């Protein structure tokens, strides 16, 4: 008699019983130590989490890897998946103090399906990740959990995910485990950073992107495969055209139809078999903004015509900036003194425009010449020199004294500034324009930064044309008074009120002097600020002596004038010849919610996965100071940063700083302010140059 047969169970029931038995066994035995998690079989993919070494060592990095084994003809995706697809992602659950870095993406493969080109992996691929285990980690085992998600594709695509658990012993030292060869293979497939001598810049045109490489490069580089790690810059399906130029190459690439903004870093990987080279190119032209960023920065010009329009608009808006208002009021007073004479108004407007435009051109020519000589300079560069700040403070103080009526200038002494910008003559109109250019340089208006950033990348003729358009925009209101009769008719009639108004105009000039003295102190030291105050007092005394000399005669007059000149020379020597010591930038001295900016600190924070707000400012930048007061100093702003764990970095461009200049140029800017918000992942967003609390709140809410 045969024994009774076992009852039949379907395969699913047998699998369920086996899984339950495994769970009960694991629960009874406690954590299972292993260098790999159990395999996870999903649609067309087998995956598991593996460790390079047999134990975790406190204080030393621990390498793990997501091992993917694809079915034939199926693939998953790289960090930039190409025209379609999604990159593989891993979310970690780790003990306190243990942190995971980003995936170290191996060299990808191109997958072509008709007009669609994707980048990814097939066959057996390891995606390595480095964990940092703190030196003080306590415990006998390191328990690691990870949740991975991906998209696996052939002609159709299937989303997949899996959960992994790995428990490694903690030891004082560790030896490589059974997966060492898998990690060695992955290391051979890692792109190597380009040598420091490599210089990479890119230019974006209407239909193409030019990538220029120079420096030490491997031979035969034109035969290597090109992979854009930054998406939506170039068309993936169009192979680059390589052209040898000197010690480098120029790659002509088709611009992506999805291109919206020039990234600060265009990251590229080149592949030759298992060899790879990774580098980042910086833009040679201003970024093209779109969407949220376009609202912040305005469209970045890709043509000279657009740059000229933006410069003209920027100069026009510059008339509303507080730094220009005192000078604009002086010119308006001169227009009133013309007594409604339209011919005189036109003449004065033209002379004023000539002063503004010629000053902008002179400043631009000097800036371009210095940059060509290797200097890292941008808009407002002259205010980075303490001597220039001191001279402008002395000039404006002399004018303010004259407007107040505290000193009287004789005809021969007027050329020193007392009457250069006063009255309604041609000379006064011209030098008022010069003064408007000088005091406007600390200000940045909307449209200006984009236009000037473009100008500084162009040949001299085009750059000077942009600066001339900026000056013309600043001069337009005064020109309009002479050429638009309706505006001229609205001017008040001349009268005794003008003397009172002239005296009133002295006070904005005094406030401007106070600001310049503070800037000088920020650039030098408290002792330097004191020396400049002594110089201002000496200047007032010298001007008073000169006015007294006009009432004397003979020897007494000459002696008084000589004393005035001696006091004036001593006053000028105080701040200019004493060379006061230079202190650290304000951003380095001050405490608070921010840290001093540096490229290294920004890179470290980005590597940690923290969002970052970068504020590039200067003590002489009026717009910067207004933004600090209105939007960047409130308790609500500090609370918003803390709530989202946003690191706040501030770069001080009060004095010349080539690193900050290079950072500004990376965003197509030639001056401050510049506000850049970096999310934890993804591309940075350039915020508007004029900030409000609501605008900042909305920007931070997008993180």
CATH topology assigned to domain 586-701:
Glutaredoxin (3.40.30)
Distance separating alpha carbons of residues 335 and 347, to the nearest angstrom = 10
C-alpha torsion angle, residues 561, 565, 570, 571 (rounded to 10): 90
pLDDT tops 60 at residue 228 = yes
pLDDT tops 90 at residue 701 = no
Is 30-189's fold the same as 586-701's? no
Question: How high is the mean pLDDT of the chain?
Answer: 79
pLDDT tops 60 at residue 153 = yes
Stated length of the chain: 703
Average pLDDT over residues 591-616: 83
Domain locations in the chain as residue ranges: 30-189, 193-283, 295-524, 586-701
- Residues in CB range of 403: below 8 A, 6 or more apart: 422, 502, 503, 505, 506, 509
Average pLDDT over residues 48-67: 95
Select, from the ranges 159-163, 386-390, 578-582, the one with the highest average predicted confidence (pLDDT). 159-163
Return the closest-CA partner of residue 53 out of 42, 62, 41, 44. 62
pLDDT tops 60 at residue 391 = yes
Give me the pLDDT at residue 688, please: 86
Average pLDDT over residues 477-503: 73
pLDDT band at 188 (very low <50, low <70, confident <90, very high): very high
Pairing of strands 61-70, 124-132: antiparallel
Task: Give the three-state DSSP class for 126.
Answer: strand
Average pLDDT over residues 440-446: 63
Average pLDDT over residues 126-151: 93
pLDDT tops 90 at residue 622 = no
Tell me whether the omega of the peptide bond preceding residue 673 falls within 30 degrees of 0, making it cis: yes
pLDDT tops 90 at residue 171 = yes
- Residues in CB range of 95: below 8 A, 6 or more apart: 137, 139, 142, 143
pLDDT band at 493 (very low <50, low <70, confident <90, very high): low
Average pLDDT over residues 162-177: 93
Distance separating alpha carbons of residues 222 and 342, to the nearest angstrom = 67
- Residues in CB range of 462: below 8 A, 6 or more apart: 304, 307, 455
pLDDT band at 111 (very low <50, low <70, confident <90, very high): very high
Considering the domain 30-189, what is its CATH architecture? Sandwich (2.60)
- Residues in CB range of 284: below 8 A, 6 or more apart: 201, 202, 203, 212, 457
Average pLDDT over residues 84-88: 91
Per-residue pLDDT of 574-600, as tens digits, reads: 666 555 444 444 444 333 478 888 888
Distance separating alpha carbons of residues 417 and 398, to the nearest angstrom = 7
Distance separating alpha carbons of residues 698 and 691, to the nearest angstrom = 11
Give me the pLDDT at residue 615, please: 93
Average pLDDT over residues 224-246: 91
Evaluate whether 296 touches 685 at the Cβ level (below 8 Å): yes
- Residues in CB range of 687: below 8 A, 6 or more apart: 296, 675, 676, 677, 695, 696, 699
Give me the pLDDT at residue 348, please: 80
**Structure tokens given for 486:** 């309706």
Give me the pLDDT at residue 257, please: 85
Average pLDDT over residues 111-137: 92
- Residues in CB range of 583: below 8 A, 6 or more apart: 524, 525, 589
222-231, 325-334, 458-467, 545-554 — which is least confidently predicted?
A: 325-334
Give me the pLDDT at residue 416, please: 40
pLDDT tops 50 at residue 10 = no
pLDDT tops 80 at residue 88 = yes
pLDDT tops 90 at residue 43 = yes
Which CATH number applies to 193-283: 2.60.40, 2.10.260, 3.40.50, 3.10.450? Answer: 2.60.40
Q: How far lies 227's CA from each of 72, 219, 234, in Å?
A: 23, 18, 10
Distance separating alpha carbons of residues 665 and 287, to the nearest angstrom = 10
Beta bridge partners of 685: 677
The residue assigned the tokens 């970068």 is: 614
Please give the span between the terminal C-alpha atoms of the chain, in angstroms, as a whole number. Answer: 76
């Amino acid at each position: 008699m045969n024994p009774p047969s076992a009852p039949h169970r379907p395969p699913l029931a047998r699998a369920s019983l086996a899984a339950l038995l495994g769970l009960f066994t694991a629960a009874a035995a406690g954590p299972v130590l292993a260098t790999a998690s159990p395999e996870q079989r999903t649609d067309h993919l087998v995956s598991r989490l593996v460790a390079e070494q047999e134990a975790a060592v406190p204080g030393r990095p621990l390498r793990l890897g997501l091992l993917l084994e694809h079915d034939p003809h199926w693939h998953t995706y790289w960090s930039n998946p190409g025209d379609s697809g999604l990159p593989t992602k891993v979310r970690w659950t780790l003990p306190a103090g243990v942190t995971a870095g980003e995936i170290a993406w191996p060299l990808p493969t191109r997958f072509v399906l008709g007009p669609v080109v994707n980048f990814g992996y097939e066959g057996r691929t390891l995606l390595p990740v480095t964990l940092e285990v703190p030196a003080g980690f306590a415990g006998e085992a390191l328990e690691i959990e990870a949740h991975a998600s991906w998209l696996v594709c052939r002609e159709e695509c299937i989303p997949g995910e899996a959960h992994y658990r790995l428990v490694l012993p903690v030891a004082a030292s560790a030896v490589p485990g059974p997966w060492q060869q898998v990690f060695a293979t992955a290391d051979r497939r890692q792109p190597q950073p380009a040598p420091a001598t490599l210089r990479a810049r890119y230019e974006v045109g209407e239909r193409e992107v030019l990538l220029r490489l120079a420096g030490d490069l491997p031979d035969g580089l034109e035969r290597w495969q090109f992979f854009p790690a930054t998406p939506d810059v170039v068309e993936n399906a169009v192979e680059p055209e390589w052209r040898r130029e000197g010690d480098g190459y120029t790659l002509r690439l088709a611009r992506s139809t999805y291109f919206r903004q020039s990234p600060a870093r265009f990251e590229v990987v080149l592949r030759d078999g298992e060899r790879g080279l990774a580098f980042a190119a910086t833009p040679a032209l201003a970024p093209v903004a779109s969407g949220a960023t376009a609202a912040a920065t305005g469209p970045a010009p890709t043509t000279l015509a657009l740059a000229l329009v933006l410069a003209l608009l920027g100069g026009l808006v510059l008339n509303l900036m507080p730094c220009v208002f005192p000078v604009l009021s002086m010119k308006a007073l001169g227009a009133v003194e013309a007594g409604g004479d339209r011919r005189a108004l036109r003449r004065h407007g033209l002379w004023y425009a000539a002063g503004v435009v010629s000053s902008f051109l002179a400043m631009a020519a000097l800036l371009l010449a210095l940059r060509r000589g290797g200097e890292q300079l941008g808009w407002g560069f002259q205010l980075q020199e303490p001597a220039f700040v001191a001279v402008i403070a002395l000039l404006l103080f002399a004018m303010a004294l004259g407007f107040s009526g505290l000193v009287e200038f004789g005809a021969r002494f007027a050329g020193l500034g007392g009457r250069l910008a006063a009255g309604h003559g041609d000379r006064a109109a011209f030098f008022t324009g010069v003064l408007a250019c000088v005091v406007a340089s600390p200000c940045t208006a909307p449209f200006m930064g984009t236009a000037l950033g473009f100008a500084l990348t162009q040949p001299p003729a085009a750059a000077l044309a942009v600066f001339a358009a900026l000056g013309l925009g600043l001069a337009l209101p005064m020109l309009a008074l002479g050429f638009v009769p309706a505006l001229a008719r609205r001017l008040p009639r001349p009268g005794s009120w003008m003397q009172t108004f002239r005296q009133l105009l002295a006070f904005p000039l005094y406030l401007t002097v106070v600001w310049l003295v503070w800037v000088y102190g920020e650039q030098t030291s408290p002792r330097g600020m004191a020396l400049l105050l002594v110089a201002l007092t000496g200047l007032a005394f010298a001007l008073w002596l000169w006015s007294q000399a006009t009432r004397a005669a003979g020897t007494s007059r000459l002696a008084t004038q000589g004393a005035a000149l001696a006091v004036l020379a001593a006053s000028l020597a105080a701040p200019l010849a004493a060379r006061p010591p230079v202190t650290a930038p304000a951003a380095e001295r001050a405490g608070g919610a921010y840290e001093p900016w540096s490229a290294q600190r920004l890179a470290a924070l980005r590597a940690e996965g923290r969002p970052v707000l970068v504020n590039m400012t200067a003590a002489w930048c009026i717009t910067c100071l207004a933004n600090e007061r209105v939007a960047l100093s409130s308790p609500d702003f500090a609370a918003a940063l803390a709530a989202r764990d946003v690191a706040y970095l501030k770069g001080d461009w009060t004095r010349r700083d080539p690193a900050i200049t290079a950072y500004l140029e990376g965003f197509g800017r030639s001056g401050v302010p510049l506000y850049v918000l970096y999310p934890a992942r993804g591309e940075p967003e350039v915020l508007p140059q004029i900030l409000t609390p609501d605008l900042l709140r909305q920007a931070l809410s997008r993180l």
